[in-house]
Amino acid sequence: MDISKIGNNLMDSMIHEAKSIKVDESDFEARLQKAMDEGDKKALKQACADFESIFLSMLYKQMKATIPKSDLVPASAGRDIFESMLDEKIVEKAAESGGIGLADSLYKQLSKQAENRYKVAGEDE
């Protein structure tokens, strides 16, 4: 019984899953613009939280890049995938627990801008 193909299929599915988790920047920008245009505070708050998650992910990757590589555990594709998925979960949990407060600050600023936009638009009519 040949089981060598099982590992390849598993690796391919894990790589596909890891790629599908990433947020598309153009989608984020479109959601943010739509929330601002429609004055949808719930969607705006979610877009701000997503932005903080993207920011934390970039920050974490840059910090991790400064750590020297160790030869204690040999490098492999499986290890890379595992570390990538672990890093995403760490950032996700950090963002869910309040992160660094960037989402809240951004939401406060953008919601004020949206309110001012609708006040001015409402006065013109």
**Residue 66: its pLDDT value, please?**
92
For residue 121, the Cα-to-chain-centroid distance in whole angstroms is: 33
User: What's the start-to-end Cα distance of the chain, in Å?
Assistant: 76
**Under-50 pLDDT residues of the chain:** 1-3, 10, 14, 17-18, 20-21, 124-125
* CB 99 within 8 Å of CB 56: yes
**Residue 21: its pLDDT value, please?**
45
What predicted TM-score, i.e. pTM, was given to this entire model?
A: 0.63
Q: In this predicted model, what pLDDT tens digit does every residue of 50-76 receive, in sequence order?
A: 888 888 888 898 998 898 888 888 888
**Residue 119: its pLDDT value, please?**
62
> Nearest CA to 107 among 36, 38, 57?
36
**Residue 120: its pLDDT value, please?**
52
**Angle value at C-alpha 85, between 84 and 91, nearest 5 degrees:** 90
Identity (one letter) of the amino acid at 51?
F
Residue ranges covered by each domain of the chain: 42-119
